[in-house]
Structure 1
Amino acid sequence: MLARGGGALELRADPTALAPERLLVFEVRGAIAPFAEAIRRAGLELVDEEELAGDEDDKAPVAYLMVPDLVALQNIASMWRRWRAGQLVRGETVWADVFERLRDLRTWGPADRVQPHDADILAAEIEGLVDNDLIRLEIELVFRAGEPAARDAEAIVAAAVAARGGLVVSRARIPEIAYHALLADLPVWAIQEVLAHGPGGIAGLEPVIYLRPQSVATGIEVDEPLVPDPVAHEARPLGTPILALLDGVPVAGHRLLVDHITLDDTFDLEPGALVAQRRHGTAMASLIIHGDRNRREPSLPRRVHVIPVMGNGDAFPHDRLVVDLIYLAVLQLRETAPDVVIVNLSLGNAHRPFHGQLSPWARLIDRLAQRFGLLFIVSGGNQTNDIGVPAYQNSIAFEDAAEPDRVTAMVTAINNIAADRRLLSPAETVNGITVGACNDDAVSPADRALARVLVDPFPGRRMANPSSALGPGFANAVKPDILMPGSREHLRVVRTHAHIDVRSSGPARGAGLRVAAPPAGGREDLDGYTSGTSAAAALASRTCHRIHDALEAAYGDEFLRLPSINRAVLLKALLIHPARWPEDMAEVIRRTIGPIGRGQASRQKDNIRRFLGFGCVDADEALACTADRATFFATGMLARDRTATIEVPVPAAIGGQARPHLLAATLAWFTPVSPGRKSYRSCKLRILDPDETEALAIKAHSNQPDGNQTNRGTVFTRVWAGDQAPAVTPNMTVALKVQREPDQAAIIDEPIAYGLAVTLAMPGELRLYNEVVARIAPPVRAGGA
């Protein structure tokens, strides 16, 4: 909230749910943070500035100012004009520093309702068509809380669509996320009117907030079909689902799936989906149930609940808004599979890269996660456009380059186009886990030899695949959260001009994840190979399920009786907890992108987390117990302005030993959300630095996100490490305090569920785990403070 004098001006991060007639648009020169500082120096109070954190990739970050009335709007607009003419008068000069940081200031209008990226897509869609050809697009309306006002607004837009020879195909209004939209057909000439920013077109209507091309599902490749080894039918009884897959129609009768899935065809998409094209849902179900089949892992002990949301050709239904589709799917899920706590969404909108504003799809996920206690695991998206590599002029130079030089060249090349390789909606979700693709798979050395004609950009190093979308997320939060195996992506040179352009070679036997595939060439029950962030998200969901299995096996009904939301946030914490930056690639990014110099550590880490998130997760490490490491967990509910204290026992075995050791803690929660307000993330939790770090001879790890970077989403993770001898006293504990900070928007009276994972490790000290077990039965529990 920006307050000056007796009036109130509200600065919001998202114009959703606003009144456009009272909305000023600030096009900021440079990042938004200095602009916010200038506003504060102008005498305006800014609350919760972190939600304004801008993305420095944006050529013109945008902020929105909602004013109390038209007089205030006209006064500010008038000051802007006078400043440009050098005519500010006494009493107005406090605004000069604000205006100096702007490219433009204007009232909300037709140009704002059609974002540049969307305009480019619409222009491409109408190219070569005649005036009366119809184009389907999404018209998002300003959300009006009252039903009569909403009906009136919709009627105005529907009448304008009909007057142009168009048709409203579908509509959706979801008050929980301040969403109201129409799916409509408009003739080409009306689209041209929109692109011209004419005030008389649909984009000039006051009830309209955005016009966008219809959502298009991200796809995957499943290549090199082969006949799998014989698979016996599942002999053991499988449990009820705790994981749901919202995806394409799978080949339900495939021998790898038939015993393992419950198909809930809520939208009647199966009859129209050609079996030979059912790639996406079949591959994702296979990865969740069996993992990468190159690894020969046991299948999950429970069935997976599948609700198809993509039909023929793995496309969203042409006559539905995708936000409405997902909303209805989750409502159906809660009715038919009440035990589900994990939802896999290896999907995205290829037409909606994240540019600072939360998409309705992400807002929906955030709301449903907190409302129903569901952990959504979402793919970050793949960016498959060519990458120009300025360091090499031809393919021979690229192929023959020394590996360290090629690694540096690829990091530089990807960073050069980072603004064009962003997350795809809904990967910016605040409450969900976003998964990027790590260049990892289980291909055998013999099969890997098949990829030798291609180029491995990061040989021998763990790194995000070149096609894996880059962060950060909303409010500059860490995104993707984690990287999971998405195959070791190889590259091929596709063009040579002043330099080479490269592109992913796609999945194959020599570099891919082995999955169930639809029939081809007259053969059924095939395997194939896939890759990318969709596959990585499926493996993350599988790992999450296996964590649930391990907790169920260890604690039985005591764990299962926990409320769904407590299990969900605990799984979220435990899945992200083992994530670590590969130190060699973190150093390459630090050295290559920088910035170099004293005091730049935080900005260097910003660049590292853009590629790596919190880091790579090894599924086996997330589940394994070792003698020299102990992991604890706690879950509870935290009331407003309260603290929970978790006492973590310190084993005597690590005392007095000058060898590397660490303490790591990961806190996760679901926040209630406030759509349309700057403080969208209503509740913020954090782990306070423990007092015992000095005695344990540890300090904040220099190669992990710092406290400010990890404080922007709904995961707070810290690592403290050292190699000096800890001073351990008898029955020593570390008191970890989980603090709920003051609510950011309206006061939230309900307690917030949280999950906490804590690890103590000293590699090589084999007494550590047993000493801890002896001191901690029953498992760690949280106490309020």
Structure 2
Amino acid sequence: MARDPAGLELRADPTALAPERLLVFEVRGSVGTFADAIRRVPGLELIDEEELEADETDKTPAAYLMVPDARALQQLLSLWQRWLRGELQWGETPWGTVFSLLRDLRPWGPQDRVQPYDASVLAQEVTGRLDDDLVRLEVELVFRASKRAGQAQEEAVRQGVTAQTGQVVSSSRIEDIAYHALLVDLPVRALRAVIERSADGIAGLEPVMHIRPQSVASSIEVEEAEDGPDGLATQVLGEPILALLDGVPVARHRLLADHLVVDDPLNLEPATLVTERVHGTAMASLIVHGDRNRPESPLPRRIHVVPVLGPRDAFPSDRLIIDVIYNAVLRMRDGAEATAPGVVIVNVSLGNARRPFSGQLSAWARLLDRLAYHYGLLFVVSAGNCTDAFPIEAFATHTLFEDADPAHRAQETLRSLGNIVADRRLLSPAETVNGLTVGACNEDAVVAADRRIARSIVDPFGEHRMANPSSSLGPGFAAAVKPDVLLPGAREHLRLVARHAHIEVAPAPPTRSAGLRVAAPPRGGVENADGFTNGTSAATALGSRTAHRIHDALEATYGATFSGMAPRQRAVLLKALLAHTARWPDTTANLIRDVIGPPDGRQHVRQKDNIRRFLGFGIVDPDDAVACADDRATFWASGELAPDKVCVVNVPVPIAMGGQAVPHALTATLAWFTPTAPGRKSYRSVRLKIIEPNSLGTLGLKSHRDQPDVNQTNRGTLFMRSWTGSRAPVVGAATTIPLTIQRDPNQGVSIDDPIPFGLAVTLTMPGIAEIYEQVRQRLGLGLRAPA
């Protein structure tokens, strides 16, 4: 073994790599510690250490080493075996340090092609089935840039499937995201070899990268259908700027009939019973009307609906969902025949219930990232729901749980969720880097009289504004903040499902007493029904509605200055403004800090990591995201940033803030879309950030204790900072705060394209009514946006 293994590359994502040159490192403990050890090995290039970050809840984190050829691979395996025997030689000590942090080192093989979670799902699929029964699964191939090489690989796998008396149902190859996959039927007898991760079956085929169960849509429930009031439009509606990729809606529902443009290229509508059109109807209703317990005006534009769920709100059984989504977006936005060229917001209240995020980006997330950057689309994506039961060991009976002091009940529910965070991860594609991921907080507009009718269910968090128990938890790719934000997903209650030495509870379905009111399919003779829903899908729909309302307000106030901007700039500005009002509630942040910890106050970074796991950047107030107030002023800026450049935005400070020793704050949110490079040196190719202003002390400001800091906010495509204070600011007639936006040097492949960014900044001093008006006059602006 050469003592200087020049040319080796450590990668965090095996996408698009050649498995014959790929070594798998199963890491014992922290991947960060492993990365530190790797840096000490001469000649070994550590690729984008940020993306090597693994969440501490990962049971077996892994990193991947790409070697220049098969000979180098065998040399490293030999070195590993000699270390196991205690035979390392002089000069090889750095490798010994690396090896001491590993559980295993092996070439890419069957146990990597079939992950343990996928094997367990497939094992459930075959239980009780006959040997000749066919089971549908997804086979992702190693992506080859050469189309001819890719076709040869596909043919080899097709032959392998046929040899097992299986068949290929469909295939998809999307070069932009290095994706090549087959949807196949395999008999149970052949699937058992896959489950056992044996090299004798298709898991032993070299062109195969991953074998997974067929994608299954995460579910939603709508309950208690009843008569609803008329919802016909009273004005001429504009062309769509928002698209809904979802289930077939009840398009003739009186609440929706005038508001939807349904494009059904997969012809799913004829096969879907009207009574089964639950998900698409609920999401369309929330986007158009909001929570109908809280009367709001409908959106002034129609929404463009593309059904991607068929009967029983399931993904089409004969297509790969990646292929379905890809073609749906291309049909909307690509070329002269685009069906919805004006769309800039795309609601994706969908997820693959069989693909919890485990550190590696899913093909679906990579697809959304690519489409967002290429077409200028803000994908608003649900974090996913986890409705599995979980134990609360502090309570022996349901009665004790129900009668407990609300503060104690909240503490013990949170403690229980904190113990199982590894089992409540984001569902693909929620780990998207360019998209905005939405979790569900426990808020709704149910009136007190309806709240009191709840029976046999318990409100776990009371007055704490918190992520619902079913809302999937972060972090995201490369330990980025995910979900990005939380929006109302109804006040989810818990119901008893089992009792042993302690109780086990599960999230209760939506009801009149804990739900968002939406249009629903006909039920019990009620044609134009209302129902109740909850969860991250619903929160995401409200997030998309809020983005649309922000677009409407900007268009009404700034006219062509805003509407004439390129789609990418409008989309990133909407992303910044939608996230901008997100805040951690102080009492909730303290609850998480006290219960989840760690208890050592000096570990504030880890404490904030735990807070953002539940809350992301915080809970969004949809009305604050759109409306104005006298004691605050929000600024926005949008532009493009070339490589290694900076942009300075001077924020005017109103003179009314000067000399006022009262609480005040400055909040800034920067959003952008990054080009992506699947399987390359850095997936997130471009990073932007806000440089800390030097004038904060003069204005009596310092970093907000209960908001993300630079340790949390620099890993995705949202950069948010908040500064607060109560000392009197020193303000002159021309005082400004210079905010510098910096584009860091490219990681890996050079990106020469200018990157679109959107910036939102708010100055606030509660109770000082002149703030907005003074800023407006200083900037020479016209009328304010309506409240």
TM-score range, shorter chain: over 0.9
Corresponding residue to 2:655 among 627, 630, 652: 652
Secondary structure at the residue paired with 1:270? coil
State the distance in 2 between where 1:365 and 1:484 align.
21
Question: Following superposition of structure 1 onto structure 2, how do residues 191-202 of structure 1 map, counting pairs within 5 Å?
Answer: 191-202=191-202
Q: Is the 8 A contact 1:697 1:723 kept in 2?
A: yes
2:161 partner amino acid: V
Q: 1:393 to 1:678 in 2, by over 3 A?
A: farther
Cα offset for 1:451? 1.5
Work out the CA distance in 2 between the residues paired with 1:321 and 1:306: 20
Residue 223 of structure 2: aligned partner: 223
In structure 2, C-alpha distance between the alignment counterparts of 1:578 and 1:329, rounded to whole Å: 31
**Maintained 8 Å contact 1:421/1:470:** yes
Residues 1:626 and 2:629 are matched in the alignment:
yes
Which runs of structure 1 show a deviation greater than 6 angstroms over 4 or more consecutive aligned residues?
none
1:160 matched to which residue of 2?
160
Deviations 1:246-303 (A, max 9, x none): 0000000000000000000111110000100000000000000000000010000000
Q: Following TM superposition, by how much is the alpha carbon of 1:778 offset from its aligned partner in structure 2, in angstroms?
A: 5.1
Q: Which residue of 2 aligns with 1:297?
A: 296
1:276 lines up with 2:279 in the alignment: no
1:717 alignment partner in structure 2? 720
Match of 1:576 among 579, 584, 602: 579
Compute the TM-score of the two structures, normalised by the length of structure 2.
Answer: 0.98
Alignment of 1:168-179 (within 5 A): 168-179=168-179
SS at 1:63 equivalent: strand
For the residues of structure 2 that align with 1:166 and 1:313, how far apart are their CA atoms?
A: 27
CA deviations on 1:442-474 (whole Å, 9 max, x unpaired) are 001111111154211010110000000000000
Partner secondary structure for residue 270 of structure 2: helix
Aligned equivalent of 2:772, options 769, 773, 781: 769
Aligned to 2:785: none
Q: Secondary structure at the match of 2:680?
A: coil
> What's the secondary structure of 2:457's corresponding residue?
coil
Residues 1:143 and 1:4: Cα distance change in structure 2 (over 3 Å): farther
Deviation, 1:488, is 0.2
Distance in 2 between the 1:273 and 1:46 partners?
51
| Superposed displacement of residue 188, structure 1 | 0.5
Which residue in the other structure is 1:213 paired with?
A: 213
Distance 1:238 1:494, change over 3 A: same
Matched residue, 1:327: 326
8 A contact 2:10–2:64 mirrored in 1: yes
Which of 374, 393, 397 matches 2:396? 393
Q: CA deviation at 1:200?
A: 2.0
* Amino acid corresponding to residue 606 of structure 1 in structure 2: D
Shift in CA distance, 598/618, structure 1 to aligned 2, threshold 3 Å: closer
The CA distance in 2 between the partners of 1:276 and 1:339, in whole Å, is 32
Q: Is the 8 A contact 1:447 1:510 kept in 2?
A: yes
Structure 2 match to 1:73: 73
Q: Secondary structure at the match of 2:186?
A: strand
The answer as to whether partners of 1:482 and 1:616 remain within 8 angstroms in 2 is yes
Q: Are residue 707 (structure 1) and residue 710 (structure 2) matched?
A: yes
Partner residue of 1:783?
none
Residues in 2 aligned to 1:30 and 1:109: alpha-carbon distance in whole angstroms: 23
Task: Give per-residue Cα distances to partners, 1:387-419, cap 9 Å, x unaligned.
Answer: 110111111111111111111101110011110
Letter in 2 for 1:174: I
Q: State how far apart, in whole Å, the 2-side matches of 1:768 and 1:230 are.
A: 41
Which digits, 9 at most, give the CA deviation of each residue in 1:175-217, with x for residues without a partner?
0000000000011111001122221210000000000000001
Distance of 1:45 and 1:75 partners within structure 2: 17
- TM superposition shift of 1:42: 2.9
CA distance, structure 2, for counterparts of residue 651 and residue 77 of structure 1: 66
Q: CA deviation at 1:596?
A: 1.7
Cα separation, 1, equivalents of 2:64 and 2:4: 20
Letter in 2 for 1:485: P
Tell me the alpha carbon deviations over residues 673-720 of structure 1, each in whole angstroms, 9 at most, x when there is no partner: 000135100000000001110111101111111102100000000001
Confirm or deny: 8 A CA contact 2:137 2:212 kept in the other structure. Answer: yes
Stretches of structure 2 that go unaligned for 5 or more consecutive residues are 783-787
Paired residues of 2:26 and 2:60 also in contact (CA < 8 A): yes
Q: For residue 130 of structure 1, what is the amino acid of its counterpart?
A: L
Deviation string 1:206-252 (CA, Å, 9 cap, x unpaired) is: 00000000000111000011101234x21210000000000000000
How far apart, CA to CA, are the structure 1 residues paired with 2:724 and 2:548? 30
> 2:86: which partner in 1?
86
Q: 1:445 & 1:212 partners in 2: Cα distance?
A: 46
- 2:36 is aligned with 1:37: yes
Pairing 1:106–2:109 present: no
The 3-state SS of whatever aligns with 2:637 is strand
Aligned partner of 1:138: which letter?
E
SS in 2 for 1:251: coil
**1:93 is matched by which residue type in structure 2?**
T
Indicate conservation of the 8 Å contact 1:514/1:528, yes or no. yes
Which residue, 490, 493, 499 being the options, matches 1:490?
493
Answering whether residue 434 of structure 2 is matched by residue 434 of structure 1, we say: no
User: What is the percent sequence identity of the aligned residues?
Assistant: 61
**Where in structure 2 are the equivalents of 1:115-134 lying within 5 Å?**
115-134=115-134
Q: 1: CA distance between counterparts of 2:448 and 2:549?
A: 28
Residues 170, 184 of structure 1: 8 Å contact kept: yes
1:287 counterpart residue number: 286
Q: CA deviation at 1:158?
A: 0.2
1:257 aligned residue = 256
Q: Find out whether 1:567 has 2:566 as its counterpart.
A: no
Q: 1:338 aligns with which of 337, 341, 359?
A: 341
Secondary structure of residue in 2 paired with 1:30: coil
In structure 2, the partner of 1:15 is 14
Which stretch has the larger CA shift, 616-625 or 237-246? 616-625
Q: Distance in 1 between matches of 2:84 and 2:339?
A: 61
Q: Per-residue CA shift, 1:621-668, capped at 9, x if unaligned? A: 111111110000000000000001101000111111111001100000
* Cα root mean square deviation, aligned: 1.1
Q: 1:534 aligned to 533, 537, 553, which one?
A: 537
Q: Secondary structure at the match of 1:559?
A: helix
- CA distance, structure 2, for counterparts of residue 47 and residue 365 of structure 1: 23
- Residue 306 of structure 1 is matched in structure 2 by 305
Aligned-partner residue type, residue 12 of structure 1: R
Residue 574 of structure 1: CA displacement? 0.1
Structure 1 stretch displaced more, 527-536 or 159-168 = 159-168
Any residues of structure 2 matched to 1:636-675 within 5 Å, and which? 636-675=639-678
* 1:524 pairs with 2:523: no
d(CA) in 1 for partners of 2:45, 2:210: 30
1:122-170 Cα shifts (integer Å, max 9, x gaps): 0000111111110100000000000110010000000011111111000
| Other-structure match for 1:782 | none
- The CA distance in 2 between the partners of 1:221 and 1:47, in whole Å, is 44
Matched residue, 2:150: 150
What per-residue deviation string (whole Å, max 9, x for no partner) do you get for residues 49-74 of structure 1?
Answer: 11111111011101110101112111
Give the letter aligned to residue 768 of structure 1: I
Q: Distance in 2 between matches of 1:730 and 1:418?
A: 51
User: Could you tell me how far 1:729 is from its partner in structure 2?
Assistant: 1.9
Return the alpha-carbon distance in structure 2 between the equivalents of residues 624 and 124 of structure 1.
50
Deviation at 1:20, TM superposition (A): 0.6
Are 1:507 and 2:506 an aligned pair?
no
Number of residue pairs matched? 776
- TM-score normalised according to structure 1 size: 0.98
